A and B are shown apart, each in its own frame.
Chain A
Amino acid sequence: MDSQLKKGFLETLVLASLKYEDSYGYKIIQDVSQVVDISESTMYPILKRLEQQKLVRTYNTEFNSRIRKYFKITSLGEVRLSETQSEFRQLKKIYDYILR
């Protein structure tokens, strides 16, 4: 897939992966990797940007006597996600028509 196109999807993919439960770096990468190829180094700036835009917030939890950083979708993030979802629903109609 075109890398620019993929980049546009990544933020939404991460938000979607956080929709039902909080998650941490390694797990988010694993989840998102199921649908697109993404490297660990690409994921860092995406998480950072989501945090800067206040679409996600982070908190630290102790796990196996070390600190793990968890990401949680904010209400602003939920709004953004549902906006994107309704856009994608419209797009899906277009894709379906083209791909029929």
Chain B
Amino acid sequence: MRKREFLEKLRTNLKTVRNNESDEILSYYDEIIQDAVDNGENEAEFISKLGSIDEIIETIRKDVDFVQKLKERRDSTLMAAINTTAKILGYSIFALVTFIIVVVGFSFVISGVSTVIYSSIILAVSESSGVNLILMRLGNIVFGIGLVMFALGVLKWYFRVSKSTVKKLLQEVQKRLRKEEQKNV
């Protein structure tokens, strides 16, 4: 077989392999055949030494599969890493937000209470009521908001913790219900 015929057959057969480097493979064989000839080897003889087209295709196919598997494995490791990072990030944000809500709520409670106490003392001691009455009501409102936020933060944390417990409880209930159903059947 001459070079042109060999390369033509190889080109046709390469279409059956899922790879995007057909041109590269063809120029590789083109080059080594040329180099062999330049080195004084007989073209037809050298080509017959290359093995059958089927063998060449089989080698390429095996390698494509190998590279594909390697890539898939790398991808799955990457996905696992991304998932873990996302989880850690999510949990950190959750913890931070909960912490901020609790802290702000707590400070609202403290400032609300102190304002109420302060303004009631002033009210009790002096006669001038106008401004202090407003201050006392304001203190009450702030205290209320603080209490709500504080409770919200604690509840949020509590739900997070008890979610798994609730889930387990639900599963238990479902299991019992299923058992009952089976009994009835």
Contacts and interface: CB of A to CB of B under 8 A. Distances in A.
Contacts of B31: 24-26, 66-69
A70 to B, nearest CB: 11
- Chain B interface helix/strand/loop/mixed: helix
B28 interface: yes
B39 interface: yes
Interface string A44-79: 110111001000000000001011110000000000
Say which size band chain B's interface belongs to.
20 to 34
A41 B51 contact: yes
Secondary structure at the A interface, as helix, strand, loop or mixed, is helix
Interface of A: 24-27, 29, 39-42, 44-45, 47-49, 52, 64, 66-69
Given A41-B59, A45-B60, 20 more contacts: A24-B35, A25-B31, A25-B32, A39-B51, A40-B29, A40-B49, A40-B50, A41-B55, A41-B56, A44-B28, A44-B60, A45-B59, A45-B63, A48-B21, A48-B24, A48-B63, A49-B63, A64-B34, A66-B34, A67-B31
